[in-house]
Amino acid sequence: MEATVMPATAPVQKQQGLNQVVINKVRRMIEGRQGDVMDTINRLLSEGRIAQDFIAPIGVSQRSKERPVISFKAEGRVQMAMPEGNFNLHGNAISQISEKMGIPAKYLRELSAGDAWQKQLCATILNEHSGWTERTRVLIRAVGMEVRGVLSDSYRRLNSVDILTAFIREAGGQGAVVSDAYMSDTKVWCETILPTPIEIPTRKNGTVIIFAGARFSTSDYGNGSVDMRSFLLNGACLNGMVRESVMRQVHLGGRLPDSLSLSQKTYELDTQTTVSAVSDLTKGLYSKDTIMQKAIEIQGASEIDVDFDKELKNLVQKGALLKNEGREVEKLLMNNNPDDGVTGGATLWKLTQGITAFAREQQPERYRELHEISGQLMNRVKVN
pLDDT in tens, 106-163: 999 999 999 999 999 999 999 888 877 776 788 999 999 999 999 988 888 899 999 9
Mean pLDDT of the chain: 89
More confident residue, 21 or 215: 215
Q: What is the pLDDT of residues 307-336, one digit of tens each?
A: 999 999 999 999 999 999 999 999 999 999
Mean pLDDT score, 187-194: 97
Percentage above 70 pLDDT, the chain: 89
235-255 pLDDT, tens digit each = 989 999 999 899 876 666 777
State yes or no: pLDDT of 3 exceeds 50.
no
Q: Is the pLDDT of residue 64 over 70?
A: no
**Which pLDDT does position 17 carry in this prediction?**
59
- pLDDT score for 75: 87
pTM above 0.85, yes or no: yes
Q: CB within 8 A of 293, min separation 6: which ones?
A: 383
pLDDT score of 130: 82
pLDDT surpassing 50 at residue 26: yes
**Stretch (H or E) spanning 138:** strand 137-143
pLDDT of residue 165: 96
Does residue 275 carry a pLDDT above 90? yes
| Crossing angle for the helix pair 288-301 and 348-359, to the nearest 10 degrees | 110
Instruction: Tell me how far apart the alpha carbons of residues 342 and 377 are, in angstroms, rounded to a whole number.
Output: 16
Give every CB contact of residue 382 below 8 A, 6+ residues apart in sequence.
300
Indicate if the pLDDT at residue 384 is higher than 80.
no
CB-based contacts of 269, cutoff 8 Å, min separation 6: none
pLDDT score of 226? 92
For 353-383, write each residue's pLDDT tens digit: 999 999 999 999 999 999 999 999 999 998 7
Between CA 300 and CA 294 the distance in angstroms is: 10
Q: What is the pLDDT of residue 198?
A: 94
Write down the pLDDT at residue 271. Answer: 93
**Helical H segments across the chain, by residue range:** 2-49, 91-101, 105-112, 116-130, 160-173, 264-285, 288-301, 308-317, 323-335, 348-359, 364-377
